[in-house]
Amino acid sequence: MTDALVVSNLLLWLVVLALLVAVIALARQVGILYERVAPMGALTLDAGPAVGAAAPTMSLRALDGRAIELGIPGRASTLLFFLSPTCPVCKKLLPILRSIQGAERSWMNIVLASDGEPAEHQAYVARQRLEDFPYVLSRDLGLAFRVGKLPYAVLVDEQGHVRAKGLVNSREQIESLFNARDLGVGSVQELVRQRG
């Protein structure tokens, strides 16, 4: 009986040692994979005005009546954030936009953009407490930037040029637009390609 216990105990220790080796090997592979995967910024789609090109010149009215001038030189950059009341990811990003608006107010304004019926969007603004943001309804604006998926953001500098753009799903992806602007590249992916 004791021989069976000793054998089973040895087998269990062999299994534990084999599992330990497997965990160490997997941890090493995860580390290698982490080093190889580049940081992912906003997903740039090859549509609409190119980065560095002049943004379309448009005079728009926000739901609250504020005048929005786009594509002309101004005192600050503009982050156009395209959203929809039915987009759950857009809703998740609204608190992040509030935070960014507070932190980046010195050099940038945020404008929310969508299209559709004003009543639906006015209810959305009230429900989400978005009164601090200009909220523009313009199908032409979305078409001018070739917005096909949401949430999408475009950073237009104070000279009226597109500095960065892309599909954004997280704070990091929104901030990657600012990083791309600071580094003078169109996107983080472009920077990785240049260095690669």
The rounded mean pLDDT for the chain is 89
- Give residues with Cβ within 8 angstroms of 112, minimum separation 6: 81, 83, 97, 130, 133, 134, 135, 136
Q: Which CATH superfamily is domain 58-195 in?
A: Glutaredoxin (3.40.30.10)
Helix (H, G, I), strand (E, B) or coil at 47: coil
Q: Are strands 152-156 and 77-82 parallel, antiparallel or unpaired?
A: antiparallel
| pLDDT reported for residue 2 | 81
The domain ranges of the chain are: 1-37, 58-195
Task: Using alpha carbons, select from 196, 182, 151, 177 the residue that is nearest to residue 40.
Answer: 177
Contact 153, 81 (CB under 8 A): yes
Total length of the chain: 196
- Give residues with Cβ within 8 angstroms of 90, minimum separation 6: 83, 84, 150, 151
Q: Which residue has 């949430």 as its token pair?
A: 151
- Alpha carbon distance 71, 156 (integer Å): 8
Residue 121: is its pLDDT beyond 70?
Answer: yes
Bond before 49 cis per omega within 30 degrees: no
Q: What is the tens place of the pLDDT at every residue in 47-87?
A: 789 888 999 999 999 999 999 999 999 999 999 999 999 99
Mean pLDDT of the region 92-101: 96
Kindly report the pTM of this predicted structure. 0.76
